[in-house]
Amino acid sequence: MVLLLHGTGGDENSLLALGKAIAPGAALLSPRGKVLEQGMARFFRRLADGIFDQEDLEKRTVDLAEFVRRASKAYGIPKGKLVAAGFSNGANIASSLLLRFPDALAGALLMRGMVPFTPEQAVELNRKPVLLLSGLDDPIVGTDEAAELANILRASNAEVTLHWEKAGHTLSQGDVLMAFDWMRKFFRNHPAPAQ
Ligand code: MLT
C-alpha cells in the first residue's frame, strides 16, 4: 500500500494518477493536508518559504503517524507494508514521519524533498529503502539541501538512492520511470503492469 502525500495547494486527488503509474495495482491511501495557507492545503505550517514551523511540523507528524496507525488497522495493512510517496511539502512530512516514527513506514519516495529538521539523536532506519528524486534546476530546493537530506538519511542507516533529474520543481517523465523501477525493485509484491 502506498501513502500519497501531496504538495502545497494539492489535495487527495493530486497524486492518484502518479500512484497508479508507479505502483500499478497497489492500494493507495491519500489523505489531504489539514493546514490551509491562503486556501492551499499543506501538511504543516511554514513561517516563510522553506522555513518550517517546527512545533507544528512535530505535532502534524504525530497526527499523521496516528492516522497511519488507524488506517493500517482499518484496512488490514500488515506492519511494514506501507510505502510513503510524497511530493514537495508531502515529501517533507514523509521524511519527518520516517525520522520520528521509523516503524510507521517500509520505505519512502521523496520527490523534491527538503530537510525537514536535523535529528538531534541517532535514528535507526534498518536499511529501509528511500528514493530521493531531486531536480538539478529546482528553484525551490537547492542541490545542497537535497544532498543534505540524502546524507541525513544515510547517517540514519536508510538504503538511499539519490536521483538527479534534469528538471525543476515539477516532476518529469524520468522521475516517474525512476520511481516505478524503485518500487518494483524494493516492493515487488505489486502486480506487473498490463503490457
Ligand atoms: C512547498 O511549496 O511545498 C515547499 O517547497 C515545501 C514546504 O513548504 O514544505
| DSSP letter for each residue of 63-89 | HHHHHHHHHHHHHTPPTT--EEEEETH
- Amino acid found at 41: A
Q: Is 121 exposed, middle or buried (0-12, 13-18, 19+ CB in 10 A)?
A: exposed
User: Ligand 1 pocket by C-beta < 6 Å: which residues?
Assistant: 7-8, 46, 88-89, 92, 114, 140
Angle between helices 89-100 and 54-75 (to 10 degrees): 80
Catalytic residues: 88, 138, 169
191 is written with which cell numbers? 502486480
Q: Separation of 53 CA from ligand 1 center, angstroms?
A: 12
Instruction: Give the Cα separation of 39 and 2 in Å (integer).
Output: 26
Instruction: Give the Cα separation of 36 and 13 in Å (integer).
Output: 16
Instruction: Tell me which residues of the chain have a pLDDT lower than 70.
Output: 189-195
Question: Which of 38, 49, 87 for a ligand 1 pocket mutation test, highest count of atoms within 8 Å of Cβ?
Answer: 49
Residues 6+ apart with CB under 8 A from 178: 131, 133, 163, 165
68 is written with which cell numbers? 497511519
What are the start-end ranges of the H helices in 42-189? Answer: 54-75, 89-100, 143-155, 173-186
176 is written with which cell numbers? 516517474
Question: Which of 42, 56, 117, 149 for a ligand 1 pocket mutation test, highest count of atoms within 8 Å of Cβ?
Answer: 42
Residue of 23, 2, 6 lying closest to 14 (CA atoms) = 6
- pLDDT value at position 195? 45
Instruction: Give the Cα separation of 122 and 99 in Å (integer).
Output: 9
Q: Separation of 162 CA from ligand 1 center, angstroms?
A: 19
Q: Separation of 169 CA from ligand 1 center, angstroms?
A: 10
Q: Separation of 91 CA from ligand 1 center, angstroms?
A: 9
**Is 111 within 8 Å of 85 (Cβ atoms)?**
yes
Question: Which of 38, 114, 170 for a ligand 1 pocket mutation test, highest count of atoms within 8 Å of Cβ?
Answer: 114
- pLDDT value at position 115? 98
Given the CA of residue 114, which atom of ligand 1 is nearest to it? 6
**pTM assigned to the model:** 0.95
Nearest CA to ligand 1 atom 9: 89
Q: Looking at the DSSP assignment, which residues form a beta bridge with residue 130? A: 108, 160
Q: Is 51 exposed, middle or buried (0-12, 13-18, 19+ CB in 10 A)?
A: exposed
- pLDDT value at position 193? 47
Q: Separation of 181 CA from ligand 1 center, angstroms?
A: 26
Q: What's the CA dihedral at 105, 81, 192, 159 to 10 degrees?
A: 40
